A and B are shown apart, each in its own frame.
Chain A
């Protein structure tokens, strides 16, 4: 079945440092890929997405490129802020026989940014 692999963390960075959170996936077809972010005490919200190979998703200074050859979708940001402290989930979705797109989530990576 489908799976998503990411490190749990926590990842601790100083403000303005470069961020990379690795995500690799296994899927039977051609999935769409997502990064969701969960701020403390809140639900998940979509950060960015990519629907086909070589697509780059971007939002709020974060970027991730859909790499089919390495089955990866690594999240990057050039300069993190304290406000970026959150849990980041990599996810993929594929069509499902139940008539919806099944989403498979990674375990989430906790990011702590210190001033």
Chain B
């Protein structure tokens, strides 16, 4: 099992450009999450999904959109990148069937917006 994978690993964008980060999991997990990690702030939840076709806002959703068309994939989009979105982005997934929900993380995407 690959677990949770993320593409790309690194990306540099200019202000105003758009991009999509892809997250894939092969554990048949129902729940998926996108976090951003910034120095001194820990991990903050951007958006999450409790199942295929459903998404919801987390703590810091502004400037991001997400889609979950297939259970195994969770996409994070930046329509018009801003320097404030320079961060490391982590995708995670968890199973509905285990309590408490242990979250499994991908290796992260380091995004720089200039």
Contact = CB atoms under 8 A, between A and B. Distances in A.
Interface of A: 8, 32, 34, 41-46, 49, 51, 89, 93, 98-103, 105-108
Contacts of A32: 99-100
B90 interface: yes
B50 to A, nearest CB: 5
A88 B104 CA distance: 15
A34 B104 CA distance: 13
Interface in B17-55: 31, 40-43, 45, 48, 50
A41 B110 CA distance: 10
A21 B105 CA distance: 22
Given A44-B90, A98-B56, A100-B94, A108 B48 contact: no
Contacts of B99: 32, 51, 101
Contact of B108 (A8, A43, A106): A43
Given A8-B40, A106-B42, A93 B100 contact: yes
5 contacts: A43-B105, A45-B104, A100-B48, A100-B94, A101-B100
